[in-house]
Amino acid sequence: MWQVVQEVTAVTEAELASTLRATKDPGGRKRRQKTAARIRALAPQWFDDGRGASRRETAGRSRPQPTVWRALRSGAVATAGTLQPLNASSAIVRAISATFHDAIVQHAAPSPIDVALARTQHARYLQALRGAGLAVTELPPLDAHPDACFVEDCALVAGDTALITRSGAPSRVGEADSIAEVLARTLRIERTPAPATIDGGDCLRVGRTWFIGRSARTNAEGAQRVREVFGPLGYSVVEVPVRGFLHLKCVASRIGDGAVLVAEGSVDLGFFGGLFGGLFGGLEVVTIPPTEAYAANTVVVNGTALVAAHHPHTRAALEQRGLRVVELDMSEFAKADGSLTCLSILLD
């Protein structure tokens, strides 16, 4: 099945960009029909007769999905190179604690964390953020909290509201206080009462939807708290089971206002509204090989993508979508189960 999906993706990326955008071109409809016919030959089960929604079996039940045919006929399909931009003006970060070598880890790395090297890598990360046009506020280290550089876990921000989280890791409780002080200067602050737990690394905002990873760090009460705070502001919440990794954003990140980058095989793509990692559905879901799963966590802002070094497929996928890619060595943060988005909170 995956071979078919790869063939379909190749067809769509090569042809849809030149055929589907011409919705007002008199010849556009014929070109879309021709492309649809080619995709139909590869994956006929994705099509109906154009009058209703196709269906695919999921977990023993039939679930409606928008048809490829309808998307092609209307031209309402996101294509490579048409990402809606993600813009921000500033970022909050925190300096590396002297105790970073004691950060929480799920599996011990072959070598211990080198704090000096981590600080060098962090400095390059800050340089990349500034190079993307962000004003960076760097908070002082919290040596009592080895993981405190991972500020993303401390707050969820959308519009004029910040939800201060309550970490599912007891040793991290207290990290968010100084983050809240900074955010309170410009944003309305909401809190997360017990027994709710939320780690920001489980919370992926794409457009008007929060995808909440249900992990060991984020519980059902935490997901409900996100609904309570952001639901009245027009945001929906979709809960995504997280198995085998720390946070949802370990394997998924947003790369456009309606697009996500996901490591193949890590989560059910149906949660994102995508169709087997293709271009059809509620979002554009761009998949990368499992061997590059670590690179699924990227920071995309102001037309620039910060990507973990040495992941060529990921780099190519992002460059094909018009992003300027900056590769960064993240070796010491990976040892602490951290990655790029973990190290900052972006603000509009």
CA torsion angle 130 83 272 247 (round to 10): -20
Position 258 scores a pLDDT of 85
User: Is there a domain that residue 80 lies in?
Assistant: no
Answer yes or no: is 82 within a domain.
no
From CA 78, how far away is CA 39, in angstroms rounded? 16
**81 within a domain of the structure (yes/no):** no
Residues 254, 33: Cα–Cα separation, whole Å: 31
Domain finish residue from 23, 45, 74: 74
Q: Can you give 77-91 as a three-state secondary structure string? A: CCCCCCCCCCCCCEE
* Helices marked H in the chain: 2-19, 28-42, 68-74, 115-131, 176-183, 220-230, 312-319, 331-335
CA-based nearest residue to 331, from 300, 314, 299, 308: 308
253 and 292 in contact (C-beta within 8 Å)?
no
269 and 137 assigned to the same domain:
yes
Last residue of a domain, one of 17, 45, 74: 74
User: Is residue 336 situated within a structural domain?
Assistant: yes
Residues 18 and 134 in one domain: no
Greater model confidence, 108 or 75:
108
Residue 304: per-residue pLDDT = 97
Say if residue 235's pLDDT is above 80: yes
Confidence band for 21, pLDDT divided at 50, 70 and 90: very low
Pair 42, 95 in one domain: no
Mean pLDDT of 5-12: 40
Question: What value does the mean pLDDT of the chain take?
Answer: 80
Examine the domain organization and report whether 148 and 251 are in the same domain.
yes
What is the CATH classification number for the domain harbouring 304?
3.75.10.10
In a domain, residue 85? The reply is no
Using alpha carbons only, how large is the chain's radius of gyration in Å? 21
CA distances in angstroms from 131 to 38, 51, 135, 256, 317, listed in the order given? 43, 49, 10, 19, 21
71 band by pLDDT with thresholds 50, 70 and 90: very low
Task: Please write the tens of the pLDDT for every residue from 266-307.
Answer: 887 766 665 434 433 468 889 999 999 999 999 999 999 999
**Burial annotation 308-321 (CB, 10 A radius, 16+ → b, else e):** beebeebbebbeeb
Contact criterion met (CB below 8 Å) for 258 and 285: no
Is residue 226 classed as helix, strand or coil in its secondary structure? helix
| 300 in a structural domain | yes
Task: Give yes or no: residues 52 and 107 share one domain.
Answer: no
Expressed as residue numbers, the domain containing 17 is 2-74
Same domain, 54 and 141: no
Residues 51, 150: one domain? no
pLDDT at residue 96 is higher than 50: yes
**Distance of alpha carbon 200 from alpha carbon 114, whole angstroms:** 25
**Shared-domain flag, residues 253 and 222:** yes
pLDDT above 50 (res 231) = yes
Is 208 in the same domain as 179? yes
- Residue 273: per-residue pLDDT: 61
**H and E: helices and strands count for the chain:** 8, 17
Note whether 45 and 113 are same-domain residues: no
Q: What angle do CA 53, 58, 64 make, to 5 degrees?
A: 15
Count up the domains in the chain and report the number: 2
- Hey, which residues are catalytic here? 247, 342
Judge if 69 and 213 occupy the same domain: no
Q: Is-contact 263 194, C-beta < 8 A?
A: no
For a pLDDT cut of 70, what percent of the chain falls above it?
A: 72
195: cis peptide before it, omega within 30°? yes
- Could you tell me if residue 84 is inside a domain? no
Strands (E), 166-268: 188-190, 203-206, 209-214, 236-241, 252-256, 259-263
What average pLDDT score do residues 254-273 get? 83
Question: What average pLDDT does range 147-170 have in this prediction?
Answer: 96
The domain boundary residue, chosen from 74, 101, 129: 74
Give the Cα separation of 97 and 344 in Å (integer). Answer: 15
85 or 72, which is more confident = 85
* Residue 203 and residue 177 share a domain: yes
